[in-house]
Amino acid sequence: MSASYDGSSAHADLLTDVVAFDSLGIIGTVGFFVPAALLIALVVGAVVRDRRLSAREAAEEAQREAFEREEIPPPPPRAD
């Protein structure tokens, strides 16, 4: 048995395996949470946009009603 066991090479293989596993774990985590965060951001953005549009429409409606309520009627025709 001329080959001797070298512990450092086994340690390097183990370290490579751990780093590879950690990298895959990070990729898997990012692959799950990034799309989830994008979906949440999209939904929040849509809700905020809808609320702004609804508030704008309500303000325009209130302003139109106020103009109609405060409108000065035309003077009656002269009876000459």
Per DSSP, the residues of 57-72 read: HHHHHHHHHHHHHTPP
Give the mean model confidence (pLDDT) for residues 70-80. 81
Q: Is the Cα dihedral 46, 52, 54, 60 positive or negative?
A: negative
Give the mean model confidence (pLDDT) for residues 1-27. 60
Instruction: Let me know if residue 75 belongs to a domain.
Output: no
Q: CA-to-CA distance for 19 and 21, rounded, in angstroms?
A: 5
On whether the pTM is more than 0.85, the answer is no
Instruction: Let me know if residue 14 belongs to a domain.
Output: no
Instruction: Let me know if residue 80 belongs to a domain.
Output: no
Per-residue pLDDT tens over the stretch 33-58: 999 999 999 999 999 999 999 999 99
Instruction: Let me know if residue 5 belongs to a domain.
Output: no
Instruction: Let me know if residue 41 belongs to a domain.
Output: yes
Residue 19's closest CA among 27, 7, 31, 8? 27
Instruction: Let me know if residue 47 belongs to a domain.
Output: yes
Q: Which domain holds residue 54?
A: 31-70
User: Which residue is listed with tokens 């106020």?
Assistant: 66
Instruction: Let me know if residue 6 belongs to a domain.
Output: no
Give the mean model confidence (pLDDT) for residues 21-43. 87
Number of structural domains (the chain) is 1
Here the tokens at position 31 are 């692959």
pLDDT(14) > 70: no
